[in-house]
Structure 1
Amino acid sequence: MCDAALLDLVHTCPACARSALRDEPAGNARIFLLCGKRPPPDRSSFSGARAHVLAGGSTAECLYQFKQRVDANELSSVRVTTTPRGRLTLMQYQELLFTALYSFRYHLVGGGAAACPDCACSATSDSPVPAVGEEVEALVRQLPPLKGNILVLQSPLIPGCFGHGFSTRCGGVSSGSPSLCSLNLASSRKRRDPDVLVAENWRRLALHAGFSSLPLHLPKVAHGAAVWVLGREQPDSYDAVVTDQRGVVLTAPGADCMTLLFADPRSKVIAAAHAGWRGTLGGVATATLDAMVSEFGCEAAEVMVAVGPSVGPCCFTLQPAEALQFLRIHPDCVPDPESPAPHVDLRLANRVLLERGGVRPAHIHDHMVAPQQQQQQQLLLTSCSSCDSAHFFSHNRDGAHFGTQVGFLWIREGGGS
């Protein structure tokens, strides 16, 4: 966190800026001059300060450059020097390109052509303020992909009558921090990735995977075992969704937590579930399977389950009081129960629960699938998300500012078996 007075974004004329910044400590202020397509002023006019010119493109482009500089230095507190009308304009960009993690303090100068005819945005504060949404959207659409191209992993268990996949972290535009780079698919007020970048990541994923024209349903995760049957009244929170509707994409988020995709090729019923350690103990996998059977007449033995990338027992530990609860599922779920921080095998726990629910062992694609039966992509699908930082986000590895990948599944229109 940087003191707000030491990081200044200047959106006004040099004369007003020098006046506004005259009390800054010499050589200490970091000043960013937002010029856009206007000719930049002479840096030397800001004597004693490090002045960086943001010029040559649209305001959105320049502010995005500024955001990248702020993020690269893990800063979040900014003082903005501008006119009253400039504040109204810049606050629109702030809303779209930044999150609540950032603090903006506006210092106003000028106020109109009569006060300072050389100021940028010298119009009065009641003049029309331009809409910036289209400009920002155009900016994010032309951003280059990071970490290579989009890579979607698939399971050979899911037949072609369904569209499905598991996203990786490759090919998106998120750059707010290393832990969010690049195809982050969840936004938060507490992280550096604004909604506009997450939406662009979703757009690119949907185009790549082939579901860009379809409605999307993402669980309102509660880390429990509640299941929403699509078409019924939607709960306030739930970790799984089930449907027999065609052309509707079900998704489940994960960043170490398991994403489970269920598909019954006979009944043409699908489900997606989010299974963290709490949801696993609560039986979300079994609850999802039960909903398919009770609501749509599926037979558990016909259901295929693909398990997305998740944290392995190599990396995942819990406190003993939490970890030892997994012993009631299977003793092998906790390989070191005497440890002060026992390791937990979430994938084994969910496999055991699914098999008890009637799913055939060969109908579950997880880390227990024999390696010689897998392609390289399928090996990635069953790897530990915490170990593989090149392909996956991980809360266990990255802490509170982690990114999110998803599993997604839909019934193709007119799809055969």
Structure 2
Amino acid sequence: MSRAVLVDLLHRCCASCTGASLLEDSVSDSQVFVLCGNTYREKNGFVDTFLSSCKSVHILDSSSTVESLYRFKQTLDQLDLSSITVLTTAQGKEVLAHYQNLLFTAIYDFQYKQRPVDETCPSCRGSTDSVSPGEEVREEVSTFMQQLPALKGELTVLKSALIPDCFGHGFSTRTGGVSYIPTLSSLNLFSSCRRRDPVAVVMENRRRLALHAGFHPQPMHLVKVNHANDVWVLGKAEPESYDAMVTNQTGLVLAAPGADCMPLLFADPVAKVIGVAHAGWRGTIMGVAMATVNAMVTEFACQVSNIVVAVGPSVGPCCYTMERDQALDFMSVHPDCVPDPELARPHVDIRLANRVLLQKGGVLPEHIHDNTMTHWSCVTPCTSCHPENYFSHVRDGLNFGTQVGFLWIKQTNE
């Protein structure tokens, strides 16, 4: 199996000494990357003989370490490589670990091979850099990310006509971010240990969304999905996981993720209370939507008749099927939720199921903005049907991106 070897010549290493370490290993089937930077290359040149037996050599000589390592990651992704051996010193490992945490995820298996510094070697002695503390690395990475061009067009959000101007809100689409992995491109807003989009890229996407939507520099609080019906009331102890949040505090941006599952936004303009929820098929059947409404009523004395609900981009019955025994649960909500129950995998309308459950709980039909409300601009397109605008688990498989619905209570000066 092919692997990548990253040769660190920046941190008290030189080509000659590190070459000896390479020759001790079998690297004939490896992709070798030489991290050197312009300064090192100009001062020291290269000793290339030790690289002659390598399958392929890539020189990482950008003007900054972050740019070199970002190029390194892009090449790894193009080659579908995730096993990396790093030849460096103890000093180099300490520095590179900061970059690794920001630019890579747990998919990438880094194995560090540290070699002692040869104090008799003039190049090793002369190439000392101070160890970069974590904060400096974070600032360097953040600055670099902000300079990257937006991909797939401009950043856009959908807005519901139901939610009044005393609230800020929207549903993100997939354009205008910096994620380059095809199924995550470009405004992916969630970093997972099982995917290739790292923290630094996702945080830059969130920053761009916040600037566009008007809540920068307020942080975005994303629900910790459990595919159930637990609601966190902000101000109380935070559970380990939950699918909904409610608050009456200004300055807090609540967000719910979605990539086929529904991001739901709840707002009471009379009591000035908001909520968000993530509703997949499990959460829908378990009643996460009404659990959110009930928390607003119980905790903040909201009237159900005042609450409006916006249903964000999500998979439609055109594209979503389930095993028949699971689909029957939706038949019990309303027969129209399963238009073809005779099939082994019937189509299921989880949007309609949420509308029915909300209406049964007392939310007024005209206070629910979903795909049935055709007289307003659409905020509930089918994610699977529109690959140019939305991420979709159903369409793209496990390596899917994430959009969000977000909501906050505006302060009086906004």
TM-score (norm 1): 0.90
Q: Which residue identity does 1:108 align to in structure 2?
A: Q
* 2:107 aligned residue (94, 101, 105): 101
**CA distance, structure 2, for counterparts of residue 215 and residue 42 of structure 1:** 46
Residues 1:8 and 2:10 are matched in the alignment: no
Query: Which residue of structure 1 aligns with residue 92 of structure 2?
Result: 86
Output the amino acid matched with 2:81: L
The number of equivalent residue pairs is 402
Deviation at 1:183, TM superposition (A): 1.4
Going from structure 1 to structure 2, the CA distance change for 1:327 and 1:121 (only over 3 Å counts) comes to: farther
Residues 118 and 125, structure 2, Cα contact 8 Å, conserved in 1: no
Q: Greater CA deviation, 41-50 or 240-249?
A: 41-50
Residues 27/183 of structure 1: CA separation in 2 closer, same or farther (3 Å cut): same
Question: Is residue 50 of structure 2 the alignment partner of residue 52 of structure 1?
Answer: no
Encode CA deviations 1:126-163: one digit per residue, 9 max, x unaligned: x8522222222222222222222211110111111111
Aligned mate of 2:80, from 57, 70, 74: 74
Which residue of structure 1 aligns with residue 178 of structure 2? Answer: 173
SS in 2 for 1:31: strand
Which amino acid in the other structure matches residue 37 of structure 2? G
Name the counterpart of 1:308: 312
CA spacing shift, 1:329–1:25, aligned 2, 3 Å = same
In the alignment, what sits opposite 1:386? 384
Amino acid corresponding to residue 412 of structure 1 in structure 2: K
Counterpart Cα distance in 2 of 1:90 and 1:415: 44
Post-superposition Cα deviations, 1:66-105, rounded to whole Å, max 9, x if no partner, equal: 0011012221011222233222222222222111111122
Selected match of 1:299 from 303, 314, 331 = 303
Task: Flag the 1:121–1:388 CA change in 2: closer, same or farther, 3 A.
Answer: farther
Amino acid at match of 1:154: K
65-74 or 85-94, which moves further after superposition? 85-94
Distance 1:35 1:341, change over 3 A: same
Among candidates 395, 398, 413, match of residue 397 of structure 1: 395
Q: Which residue of 2 is the match for residue 139 of structure 1? A: 144
Q: How does 1:212-223 map to 2 (within 5 A)?
A: 212-223=216-227
Q: Which moved more, 1:266-275 or 1:229-238?
A: 229-238
Amino acid at match of 2:310: A
1:339 aligns with 2:343: yes
Which stretch of the first structure deviates more once superposed, 315-324 or 274-283? 315-324
Relative to 1, partners in 2 of residues 1:117 and 1:219: Cα closer, same or farther, differing over 3 Å? same
Q: Aligned partners of 1:241 and 1:160: how far apart in 2? A: 21
CA deviations over 1:216-267 (Å, ceiling 9, x no partner)? 4322221111122222333332211112222322211111110111112222
**35 and 215 in structure 1: CA distance in 2 versus 1, 3 angstrom threshold:** closer
The one-letter code of the counterpart of 1:34 is: L
RMSD of aligned alpha carbons: 2.3
Q: 2:326 aligns with which of 289, 307, 322?
A: 322
> What is the rounded CA distance, in whole Å, between the counterparts of 2:149 and 2:389 in structure 1?
18
Return the offset for 1:284. 0.9
Amino acid at match of 2:21: A
Q: Quick one: which amino acid aligns to residue 185 of structure 1?
A: L
Q: Which consecutive aligned stretches of 4+ in structure 1 deviate over 4 angstroms post-superposition? A: 23-27, 41-44, 120-123
Matches within 5 A, 1:16-415: 16-22=17-23, 28-40=29-41, 41-42=45-46, 45=49, 46-49=51-54, 50-109=56-115, 111-114=117-120, 116-119=121-124, 122-123=127-128, 128-131=130-133, 132-175=137-180, 177-370=181-374, 373-374=375-376, 378-379=377-378, 381-414=379-412
Instruction: Give the distance between the partners of 1:278 and 1:105, measured in 2 at CA.
Output: 39
Give distance in 2, aligned partners of 1:288 and 1:56: 50
**Secondary structure in 2 aligned to 1:80?**
strand
Partners in 2 of 1:322 and 1:390 — Cα distance?
30
CA change 1:8–1:325 in 2 (3 A) is same
Query: What is the percentage of aligned positions where both structures have the same residue?
Result: 54
Q: Is the CA contact (8 Å cut-off) linking 1:9 and 1:33 kept in structure 2?
A: yes
CA–CA separation in structure 2 for the residues paired with 1:317 and 1:272:
25
1:214–1:22 Cα change, 3 Å: closer
Residues 306 and 366 of structure 1 are in contact (CA less than 8 Å); yes or no, is this contact kept in structure 2?
A: yes
Measure, in 1, the Cα distance between the counterparts of 2:89 and 2:299.
60
User: Equivalents in 2 of 1:27, 1:48: separation in Å?
Assistant: 6
- The answer to whether the Cα contact below 8 Å between 1:85 and 1:122 also exists between their aligned partners in 2 is no
Work out whether residues 297 and 304 of structure 2, in 8 Å CA contact, stay in contact via their aligned partners in 1.
yes
- Structure 2, unaligned stretches of length 5 or more? none
